[in-house]
Amino acid sequence: MKKHDFKSKIVSNKKIAENFYRMELESKGILFSAGEFFQISVPTHILRRPFAPSYSDSEKFAYTYQIVGEGTEMLSKLAEGTELSVIAPLGNGFTMPEDNSTAILVGGGCGTPSLALLATQLSKKNVIIYSIIGSRSSCTVLEKARLEKYSKKVVVTTDDGSEGLKGNSVNGVESILKEAKCNSSTINIFSCGPAPMLKSLTQLANRENINTELSFEERMACGFGACMGCVIKINSKNTEEGFVYKRVCHDGPVFNSKEIYWQ
Ligand code: FES
């Protein structure tokens, strides 16, 4: 889809969990496919910030952000009606699976909300959805209600065991695979979250021979392929090192797990 550069007013900006906020912005008719992202300008900051939407319709879109520094702290203080500059949609998005297949959505931390948009879009197809929400603790479990609405089952995993299974998202996938008992060729895993989680998920996907797409959350500077600040290593038989670099902002952010050269 053609990208658009437009001004958008904040519709709402609310705290939803410890250190996490959800902002709604006017979409001016721009619709996102799950996995695509956008960039917004943050007042007083030169570089735009990339985020993945968790909700999208022709009037507004929403995203969840975590306060991790000055820029996101500034975002959390912006009032309704403030106008931001947006470039969207960007990136490649997830591949829609075939009808009658099973989709396992695996979210970690701030990666989970973008999977809620994927669940919404998959629910319009004949796909059985299982979701795993990985979180540090019960107070930062994100998008549980929306994922429950669209999923046959939602498994919550927390590092401290304060809700659901004690462990990580990959433990959640193992429990779903035991229960779902379907042929691995009919399953697709879709994931967004921190790199160590994506790496563990790749090992599981290779072991179980499950097609898996990973959305990367690399830090981005330019956001349009010019600075090489967001590169990851991709397997290549054509180089001595065995890998080439690809840009998450330009070539991703979604990659098949088989492409990734993990160290
Ligand atoms: Fe500059 Fe990706 S952020 S190349």
Half-sphere exposure of 180 (CA within 13 A, CB side): 26
Atom of ligand 1 lying closest to residue 220 CA: 3
pLDDT of residue 211: 96
Name the residue of 227, 246, 255 to mutate for ligand 1: max ligand atoms within 8 A of Cβ.
Answer: 227
Instruction: Give the bridge partners for 9, in sequence order.
Output: 83
Give the closest residue to 22 by CA, choosing from 10, 34, 31.
10
| 169-212 pLDDT tens trace | 999 999 899 887 777 888 999 999 999 999 999 999 999 999 99
- In this structure, the number of other CB atoms found within 10 A of the CB of residue 238 comes to 6
Strand ranges for the chain from DSSP E? 4-17, 20-26, 37-40, 49-51, 55-56, 60-66, 83-90, 102-108, 128-135, 153-158, 165-166, 187-192, 211-215, 231-235, 243-247, 254-256
Q: What is the mean pLDDT of residues 107-126?
A: 94
% of residues, the chain, pLDDT over 70: 99
pTM across the whole model: 0.94
Instruction: For ligand 1, say whether the CB of 249 is within 6 Å of any of its atoms.
Output: yes
Question: Tens of pLDDT along 130-140?
Answer: 999 999 999 99
Q: Which residues contact 1 (CB under 8 A, 6 or more apart)?
A: 33, 36, 89
pLDDT at position 226 is 84
Ligand 1 atom having least distance to the Cα of 222 = 1
pLDDT per residue over 31-73, tens digit each?
A: 999 999 999 987 777 778 899 999 999 999 999 999 988 888 9
Which residue spans within 122-177 are E strands per DSSP? 128-135, 153-158, 165-166
Both tokens of residue 99?
A: 């009808």
pLDDT tens readout for residues 152-161: 999 999 999 9
- Reduced to 3 states (helix: H, G, I; strand: E, B; else coil), residue 113 is helix
User: Mapping DSSP to helix (H, G, I), strand (E, B) and coil, where does residue 210 land?
Assistant: coil
